[in-house]
């Protein structure tokens, strides 16, 4: 039938779908970053480590306590979020009044420590995690593993749910107000520090959830987060720091673009996102969906 620049349509559709699946991970991770940055003004560099912790906690739940994937999907984010909230209470809180740079350095350092501890305990080559829904559908243009289909659907629900909660509900409006004028919101009788802790926990929980979802696909290993986090930061920058919808849309779009690059020029697939980032920063420094502050 028709061919697009030498690529048969089947291959193209297949690659687009795969791009969408990777985009789902980018979206979920960048969403957490955007929530934390938008509401707390902290550039959370531990995000990658928290994603990795999500995957490891899922592994521990399965192998030490016999709790399967579906239980881990709920429990692991809660456990990792609790860890995040402790960090926020003990360390991050002290940096809110300082420049972004301090938060960035602190979280970056924490990420290295966490990664190092996991490497010491579990080694660098990783651990196996069974696919909970093996098999797949034979579509006309590709074989779609059931698990990947589930990941796309689940991440879309989580992303849109988060967007709705922050942009369209009362709780979300409190949150947004609390970041703009904390004193005023506190005056209305709302416990702002607790709200901020919970928000950080929520962002971390999103990272851990992405980690649990990644465990059956990728090798569960201590560096899995740092491999991904740089790309995710590029996604956040392109989408506009702190923009919730921006990070969701950009995450999926960049997944698609990366997928296409893997067909046309695979060698460049790890750089294409950064090329786009450079172009966006030149044309629209606040990002595609961001508003200049």
- Which residues of this protein are in contact with other proteins, per CB under 8 A? 8, 10-11, 14-15, 18-19, 21-22, 116, 119-121, 123-128, 130-131, 134-136, 142-143, 145, 147-148, 216-219, 221, 223-224, 227-228, 259, 262-263, 266-267, 269-271
Grouping H, G, I as helix, E, B as strand and the rest as coil, residue 137 is strand
**Exposed, middle or buried: residue 128 (CB in 10 Å: 0-12, 13-18, 19+)?**
exposed
Closer Cβ to other proteins, 7 or 74, answer by number: 7
Closer Cβ to other proteins, 186 or 219, answer by number: 219
Give Cβ neighbours of residue 65 (< 8 Å, ≥ 6 apart). none
Closer Cβ to other proteins, 15 or 107, answer by number: 15
Closer Cβ to other proteins, 94 or 120, answer by number: 120
**Exposed, middle or buried: residue 101 (CB in 10 Å: 0-12, 13-18, 19+)?**
exposed
Nearest approach in angstroms of CB 33 to other proteins is 18
| Pick from 151, 107, 142, 134: nearest CA to 251 | 151
Grouping H, G, I as helix, E, B as strand and the rest as coil, residue 144 is strand
Nearest approach in angstroms of CB 288 to other proteins is 24
User: CA angle at residue 38 from 254 to 167, to 5 degrees?
Assistant: 85
Nearest approach in angstroms of CB 261 to other proteins is 9
Nearest approach in angstroms of CB 76 to other proteins is 20
Nearest approach in angstroms of CB 274 to other proteins is 12
């Amino acid at each position: 039938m028709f061919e697009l620049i030498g690529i048969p349509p089947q291959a193209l559709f297949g690659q687009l779908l795969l791009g969408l699946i990777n985009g789902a991970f980018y979206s979920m991770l960048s969403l957490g970053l955007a929530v934390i940055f938008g509401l707390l003004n902290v550039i959370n560099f531990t995000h990658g480590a928290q994603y990795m912790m999500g995957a490891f906690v899922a592994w521990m739940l399965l192998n030490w306590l016999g709790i399967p994937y579906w239980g881990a999907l709920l429990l692991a984010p809660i456990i990792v979020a609790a860890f995040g909230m402790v960090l926020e209470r003990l360390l991050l809180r002290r940096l809110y009044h300082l420049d972004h740079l301090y938060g960035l350095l602190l979280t970056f350092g924490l990420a290295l420590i966490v990664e190092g501890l996991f490497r010491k305990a579990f080694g660098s080559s990783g651990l196996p995690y069974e696919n909970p829904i093996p098999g797949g559908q034979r579509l006309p243009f590709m074989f779609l593993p059931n698990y990947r289909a589930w990941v796309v659907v689940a991440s879309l629900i989580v992303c849109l749910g988060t967007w709705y909660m922050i942009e369209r509900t009362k709780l979300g409006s409190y949150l947004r107000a609390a970041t703009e004028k904390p004193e005023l919101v506190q005056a209305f009788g709302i416990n702002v520090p607790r709200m901020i802790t919970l928000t950080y926990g929520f962002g971390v929980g999103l990272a851990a959830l992405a980690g649990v979802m990644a465990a059956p696909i990728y090798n569960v290993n201590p560096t899995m987060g740092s491999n991904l986090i740089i790309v995710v930061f590029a996604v956040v920058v392109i989408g506009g720091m702190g923009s919730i919808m921006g990070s969701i849309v950009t995450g999926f779009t960049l997944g698609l673009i990366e997928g296409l690059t893997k067909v046309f020029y695979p060698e460049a697939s790890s750089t294409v996102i950064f090329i786009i980032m450079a172009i966006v920063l030149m044309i629209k420094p606040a990002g595609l969906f961001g508003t200049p502050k």
